[in-house]
Each structure stands twice: as C-alpha cells, then as structure tokens.
C-alpha cells in the first residue's frame, strides 16, 4: 500500500469507527501497564479513557531511556506499552523487544503532521514500530534587545561581545550543537578527531557562558533577570517568558537545531491485550493530546489538537510554529549514539576546562 492509499484508508477508517468509541472492542476489567515518562499517564486524560474503555491504566514512570531498555530487556518490569525517545526506538526493534504497529487500528494517526506519519526512527523493514507522541525542538533563544532576532547562525554563541552573558544546556545536546556549527554531517557518530574539534570549540565558548543550565526553570530565570541574553532551551521556557511579559526571540540557525520525539511502542506479546490499541488510538486523538499538552507543555503530532486548546494556549502554541511543518525543516532529530560514553567524556572535559 503506497503512502497516499494508506493515508486515504486511515481517513476513511477514522470516519467509520470514530463514533463507536471503545465499547465494541474492549471488555470491562481490562488492565494496561505503561512504562513511560512522568506526565504521559496523567489522570486528567487517562481517567476519561478508563471510563470509556473499561480498561484500568497502571503507570510505571521512568527517568531515562536506558531505564526503559534495561527493564524491558531484563524482564524486571512487566509492561504492555513503553514510550522511548527517537534515539532509543531502534535499539528495541533490533533487540526484538517490541511488536510492529497495525496502523489500521490507530485511525487518529491520519491527522498527524507529515513528519510524524512514518518517521525514520519508527520504521524498519517497511513496518511501523511506534506511534509518535510528545515531541519538541531544542530552541535557540535570545533577548531581541541585545541579540539581533534575525540572527540565523549558531555562531553568535561564540561572539566575544556576549562574554559571560549566555547559557546552554548541561547535556550531551551541547556537544551536538558544536558539531552542527562545525558542519559535521555525522553528528551522532563523530570520530575521535571530530570530537577533539568539538571539545576545542566548546572550550572556546566558555568565556561567554554565564552558567550551564540543568533545568529549563534555571534558564528561564537567567533570561528573565537579564543575566543571560541567549542560549538554548525548550519550548516551555519561551512560553513562560512570554507569558511573563519578557520578549524572547526564537532563532532559526541555518546549521539546524536538535529535536526529540517519543513514541508509544508495544512490548512484544502485548499486542493481544485488548486495551492496547484503544489506548494508542485514544492518545493519538486531538482531544487527548490537548489534555496532555496542558500537563507537559510538549508538542504533539495531531494537527487538530490546536482546535481543542483554549485561546491563550492556542496562541502560544501556534506562535512557536508547532502546527507548521516548516518549523521542522531544519531539525536535526536525535539518533542513537554508539559511543555515548565517549561523548559524555568529552562534555565533562569541556566543563572541567578553565576559561
């Protein structure tokens, strides 16, 4: 089935089954265990699902993708669904730990942004292995009164006129940022020589760094107080700053920005659980994703979600371009890093180096 035919099939299916909810496919008393990030099974949108489907959702929260992999691979954690990020999904597929998705059973996917219909991190051997869910872009932000809002390059992070006035994430993503600026196309598989160049470049940035932030709240505070005039952060920082009356520019560097996307995946063998597909279709709906956005602040793939948001939230979401496919044209989506330990070693060396 080609992509056009598949999309039409899903649209027709959505129209046919949309009004029947879950009563015909799920029996009361069903149980569903989800291994996921905090907020991905919030009662505000899980309870309506439970009421409609008769399925009880049991959530087990995790803090890292490695924890998801460890629990599933070791068998120490029993789960039906998991929500790994796009740099982890193929690890689970390659390990034969998950089952492919029957797209005909998730008709709400017909309303997903094009980038999330069959993303590379969820597709192997022509099969779809995950249902895209929460996503975000690592935003490059600046105070427009200090940094030209038309700035289109990551190079400003190294400009001496911003000495002591910038803040970037204390995370491996900052290694990726330097790699993009240096023009490396293999950001997630750098050689030793390339990593040394990245390290030198990041050390050269240090005189400009006011602080390496660890939480988005830290970055928001630094920007709000004027201690920092630029750097990187998540969408939530921009939304909060603007809500508080602080002007902040969302820059579009030509070198690209990092991006992440989580997907719901079916643990192998759990596809027979009658609660699995009703849940996958429910969390793919515009209404459920709007409820989830209120909890997490993340982007979600259903383009109709914006219609379910209140006016203020819709305006903030739209201003960030979250419903515009063009926003994602220069996103360098995270991928598995084979030598992650080496990357972290480089990052720690950067932080330990003197300015």
pLDDT above 90 covers a percentage of the chain that reads 82
Average pLDDT, integer, range 259-277: 96
pLDDT tens for 327-351 read 888 899 999 998 999 999 999 999 9
Give the CATH class of 137-258+333-352: alpha beta
pLDDT, position 328 = 86
Global confidence as pTM: 0.83
* Architecture of the domain defined by 3-135+260-323: 3-Layer(aba) Sandwich (3.40)
What lies within 8 Å, CB to CB, of 340 at 6+ separation is 172
Query: Is the Cβ–Cβ distance between 332 and 154 less than 8 Å?
Result: no
Please report the pLDDT score of residue 24 as a whole number: 39
Within the chain, all domains assigned CATH 3.40.190.10 are found at: 3-135+260-323, 137-258+333-352
- Check pLDDT > 60 for residue 15: no
Banded pLDDT at 3 (limits 50, 70, 90) = very low
């Amino acid at each position: 089935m080609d992509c056009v035919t598949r999309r039409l099939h899903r649209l027709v299916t959505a129209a046919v089954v949309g009004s029947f909810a879950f009563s015909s496919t799920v029996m009361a008393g069903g149980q569903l265990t989800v291994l996921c990030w905090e907020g991905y099974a919030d009662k505000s949108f899980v309870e309506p699902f439970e009421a409609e489907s008769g399925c009880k959702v049991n959530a087990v929260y995790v803090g890292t993708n490695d924890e998801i992999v460890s629990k599933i691979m070791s068998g120490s954690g029993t789960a039906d669904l998991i929500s790994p990020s796009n740099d982890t999904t193929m690890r689970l597929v390659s390990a034969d730990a998950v089952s492919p998705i029957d797209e005909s059973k998730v008709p709400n996917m017909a309303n997903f942004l094009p980038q999330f219909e069959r993303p590379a991190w969820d597709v192997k051997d022509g099969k779809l292995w995950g249902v895209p869910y929460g996503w975000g872009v690592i935003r490059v932000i600046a105070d427009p009164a200090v940094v030209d809002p038309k700035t289109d390059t990551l190079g400003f992070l190294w400009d001496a006129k911003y000495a002591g006035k910038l803040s970037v994430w204390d995370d491996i993503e900052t290694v990726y940022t330097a790699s993009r600026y240096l023009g490396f196309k293999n950001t997630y598989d750098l050689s030793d020589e390339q990593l040394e160049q990245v390290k030198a470049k990041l050390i050269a940035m240090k005189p400009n760094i006011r602080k390496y932030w660890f939480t988005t709240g830290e970055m928001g505070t630094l920007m709000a107080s004027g201690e920092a005039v630029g750097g990187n952060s998540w969408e939530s920082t921009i939304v909060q700053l603007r809500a508080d009356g602080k002007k902040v520019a969302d820059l579009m560097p030509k070198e690209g920005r990092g991006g992440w996307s989580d997907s719901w995946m079916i643990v192998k063998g759990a596809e027979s659980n009658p609660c699995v597909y009703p849940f996958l279709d429910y969390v793919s709906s515009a209404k459920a994703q709007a409820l989830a956005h209120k909890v997490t602040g993340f982007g979600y793939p259903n383009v109709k979600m914006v219609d379910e948001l209140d006016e203020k939230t819709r305006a903030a979401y739209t201003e960030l371009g979250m419903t515009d496919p063009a926003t994602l044209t220069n996103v360098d989506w995270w991928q598995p890093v084979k030598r992650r330990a080496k990357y972290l070693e480089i990052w720690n060396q950067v932080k330990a180096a003197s300015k």
